[in-house]
């Protein structure tokens, strides 16, 4: 039972206070709340004004899910179940006030940012750039009335010597149609990033809960990655100088300075039927690059169940981790 004599719900208006409030667990990273542009930040504080739980809300951008307006709950953190349920129940009240029919979480505003909880951890250590959370957080959401909305997984390929049996025929088809592969150009980084941004908007627009991102935000995210990107692990497919596909992988720096794994982070292709098979070919090529550069494993990261990328990955890899995104009706 939430004791209003010893705890209260407050609206966090000072961005500095919001930043200082984050992180009851070592698993949670420091985040820049101002960049994530939440519409509200709420917290449960005790009599000593110490934060017991908090979350941010996004409701101004109207996202439709099954013809219902969805509000997002993210930046979630709580020290126990009592505080968790209190802050989430308050979030539901606020989202209803702004005419949201569904609450979706955890999601920090959109799917370009941190979202989902690890719900089945497995034995594999957390990999580089993988979002992590305390193991009891999914239970917090379930106790507050959430239900699973979407499931995701990461998978591991331990045998990089195996090639896709259709890779050669797809490569022949692409070459016949004039489609060429090349590594990302550090010298022409602005032009290449602009091409990747434009293709991403086309390729991802049908993705679950997709919302577009401003080019400035996209550039900021990818510019931050450039120092750790190896050019042969960011491959671009071009059709008459127009980028129609790309694949990005990063070394798993959580394994130290000489990682044995790479993380297959993103693969995208133009949605036109002409480019069918290109995504599959790009995955095979990045695994070949990893093998030839001395890596022994590829982690296929954070794929939604049953989508095309996931089906491609399961030709090679076995699931190592499962994640869940949740929703609750606000009627």
CATH code of the domain containing 195: 3.40.630.30
40/167 same-domain check? no
- 3-state class (DSSP) for residue 177: coil
Residue partners of 224: CB distance under 8 A and separation at least 6:
none
Q: Sign of dihedral through CA atoms 307, 28, 22, 16? A: negative
The reported pLDDT for the residue numbered 25 is 54
146/186 same-domain check? no
173/300 same-domain check? yes
Residue 3 lies in a domain: no
Domain that holds residue 107: 12-153
Residue 6 lies in a domain: no
Of 153, 184, 211, the last residue of a domain is: 153
308/172 same-domain check? yes
Residue 273 lies in a domain: yes
308/166 same-domain check? yes
Query: Could you say which residues of the chain have pLDDT below 50?
Result: 22-23
The reported pLDDT for the residue numbered 206 is 87
Residue 325 lies in a domain: no
302/165 same-domain check? yes
First and final CA of the chain: distance in angstroms? 23
Report the domain count for the chain: 2
The reported pLDDT for the residue numbered 7 is 77
pTM of the model: 0.91
Task: Give helix 215-225 / helix 189-204 axis angle, nearest 10°.
Answer: 120
117/148 same-domain check? yes
Place of tokens 């959401």: 141
Residue 330 lies in a domain: no
- 3-state class (DSSP) for residue 279: helix
103/202 same-domain check? no
Parallel, antiparallel, or unpaired: how do β-strands 261-269 and 318-329 relate? unpaired
* CATH code, domain carrying 84: 3.40.630
Residue 321 lies in a domain: no
29/114 same-domain check? yes
The reported pLDDT for the residue numbered 107 is 96
Q: How far is CA 140 from CA 86, 103, 201, in A?
A: 10, 14, 34
177/296 same-domain check? yes
Q: How many CA atoms lie within 13 A of 42 on its CB side?
A: 21
**Nearest in space to 114 (alpha carbons), one of 126, 127, 130:** 130
The reported pLDDT for the residue numbered 22 is 46
Residue 24 lies in a domain: yes
Are 46 and 6 a contacting pair, CB within 8 Å?
yes
How many C-beta neighbours within 10 Å does residue 102 have?
20
Residue 270 lies in a domain: yes
Of 116, 134, 153, the last residue of a domain is: 153
Of 153, 169, 204, the last residue of a domain is: 153
46/126 same-domain check? yes
């Amino acid at each position: 039972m939430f004791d209003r004599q010893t705890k209260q719900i407050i609206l966090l208006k000072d961005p500095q206070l919001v930043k200082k409030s984050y992180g009851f667990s070592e698993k949670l990273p420091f985040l820049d709340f101002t960049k994530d542009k939440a519409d509200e930040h709420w917290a449960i504080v005790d009599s000593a004004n110490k934060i017991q739980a908090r979350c941010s809300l996004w409701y101004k951008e109207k996202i439709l899910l099954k013809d219902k307006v969805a509000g997002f709950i993210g930046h979630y953190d709580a020290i126990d179940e009592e505080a968790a349920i209190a802050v989430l129940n308050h979030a539901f009240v606020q989202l209803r006030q702004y005419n949201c029919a569904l609450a979706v979480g955890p999601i920090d505003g959109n799917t370009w940012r941190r979202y989902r909880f690890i719900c089945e951890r497995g034995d594999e250590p957390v990999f580089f750039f993988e979002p992590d959370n305390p193991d009891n957080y999914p239970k917090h959401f379930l106790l507050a009335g959430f239900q699973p909305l979407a499931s995701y997984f990461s998978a591991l390929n331990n045998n990089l010597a195996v090639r896709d049996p259709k890779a050669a025929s797809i490569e022949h088809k692409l070459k016949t149609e004039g489609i060429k592969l090349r590594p990302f150009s550090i010298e022409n980084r602005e032009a290449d990033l602009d091409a990747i941004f434009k293709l991403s908007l086309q390729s991802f627009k049908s993705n679950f809960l997709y919302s577009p991102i401003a080019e400035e935000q996209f550039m900021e995210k990818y510019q931050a990655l450039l120092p750790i990107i190896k050019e042969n692990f960011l491959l671009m497919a071009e059709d008459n100088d127009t980028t129609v596909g790309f694949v990005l992988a990063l070394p798993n720096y959580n394994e130290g300075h000489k990682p044995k794994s790479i993380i297959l982070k993103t693969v995208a292709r133009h949605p036109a039927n002409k480019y069918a098979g290109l995504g599959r070919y790009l995955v095979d090529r990045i695994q070949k690059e990893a093998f030839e550069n001395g890596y022994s494993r590829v982690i296929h990261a954070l794929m939604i169940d049953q989508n095309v990328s996931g089906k491609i990955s399961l030709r090679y890899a076995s699931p190592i981790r499962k994640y869940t995104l949740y929703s609750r009706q606000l009627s």
